[in-house]
Structure 1
Amino acid sequence: MISEGPTDGYSKRARKLSSRKLSNMEIADQAVQTGPTLSFGPGDLKSLSDTAHNDALVIRALVSNYDVARIFVDSGISVNVLFQETINQMDLGEYKVEPVVKLLFGFIGHAIRPIGLINFLLTLGKDRTIKTRIVSFIIVDAPSAYNAILGRPDMNTFMAVASALYQKIKFPVGNEVGEVQGDQKFF
């Protein structure tokens, strides 16, 4: 498990702003929210190669307009991670990296100092049911079988629900439901 990543920013100012947003969200949540119901059922299992699996949910998505495979979806962590090797392969040219002072634990058995924080566009879905948001990724220079890890904060940003059992992520797009199918071929 990866821990010690902030869910609300890296500075005192960012944490205060996050606290204010939460207060405002509580008021907004009292209003009736409309949109599609996100659910999983037997029809979602038809696309799986093996319904008796224990696979992690690994997807592919567009990150800064690059098709990135092997994105591990882990709603138990409080940060999104993009590995340095992946960024190198994306050939982005110059990009802005913000400093990060917090250490992360859980990658290689001891604390690791992130390289920094970067904001990229992340696009989930396809055709009419795509959704794009700006996502903050912590850049880490560590070995990994994955190119990125998508954590809890931005699953919430997409209002997405992930299911490892059904190997899918579902999220609202207007009155429709967008989906991202897990990639069992990775295993």
Structure 2
Amino acid sequence: MVGTIQPHKDALVVTLRIGEYDVRMMMVDQGNAVDIMYPDLYKGLGLKPKPKDLTTYNSPLVSFEGRMVALKGLIRLPVQAGTDVVEVDFIVVDVFSPYTAIMGKPWLHTLKAVSSTLHQKVKYPSGGQVLEIVGSQAAAWQCLVAAIQRRPEAETSATTDNEL
């Protein structure tokens, strides 16, 4: 836990390389069954709308709030951690998130990685040694603030609708 502010309940937020870009604000969630990319990252990487870069993805996806999520499709991209590069199938969704992407079980399993929110690290074997990706608590706080700032709008409209 050296280098972390304790105690904490922060998400594990890392920076990984996709193509030529260092992508910040990527949440590692070992409970997520898929790897997810949000619209801002998709556009920021200069990817094209269907059918050029995206393939169809038809399985239903449910948000944290229990609602169905609008899917744009699936895209396979190389994701680099240290010197290791793995191909990741991202499901591109059209919803707001303070994160640029969520790296779930598929990425963790491909990398043979273990993540720990407590330690703010992802560790994985590479070339006979164990490498680590260190999370950023500051980035996690930025994402939390962004989510909180957006949340009152939804609560206000829900309250207004209920009062009418």
TM-score bucket of the superposed structures, by smaller chain: 0.7 to 0.9
* Per-residue Cα deviation, 1:11-55 (whole angstroms, up to 9, x for no partner): xxxxxxxxxxxxxxxxxxxxxxxxxxxxxxxxxx2221x121111
**C-alpha displacement of 1:85:** 1.6
**C-alpha displacement of 1:62:** 0.4
Given the alignment, which residue of 71, 94, 97 partners 2:26?
Answer: 71
Given the alignment, which residue of 110, 121, 127 partners 2:67?
Answer: 110
Given the alignment, which residue of 103, 121, 139 partners 1:150?
Answer: 103
**Aligned residue number for residue 45 of structure 2:** 90
How many angstroms apart in 2 are the aligned matches of 1:165 and 1:89? Answer: 30
- The RMSD of aligned alpha carbons is 1.5
Given the alignment, which residue of 97, 116, 119 partners 2:76?
Answer: 119
More helix by share: 2
**C-alpha displacement of 1:92:** 3.6
- Contact 1:102 1:113 (8 Å CA) reproduced: no
Q: Which runs of 4+ in 1 moved over 3 A?
A: 92-95
How many angstroms apart in 2 are the aligned matches of 1:159 and 1:106? Answer: 26
Task: Give the counterpart letter for 2:106 in structure 1.
Answer: P
* Per-residue Cα deviation, 1:69-120 (whole angstroms, up to 9, x for no partner): 0101111111000011211112245752110111210155411131100000
**Aligned residue number for residue 126 of structure 2:** 173
Task: Give the counterpart letter for 2:3 in structure 1.
Answer: S
Are 2:26 and 1:46 aligned? no
Task: Give the counterpart letter for 1:133 in structure 2.
Answer: V
Which segment drifts farther, 136-145 or 92-101?
A: 92-101
For structure 2, which runs of at least 5 residues remain unmatched after alignment? 142-164
**Aligned residue number for residue 113 of structure 2:** 160
Aligned length: 138
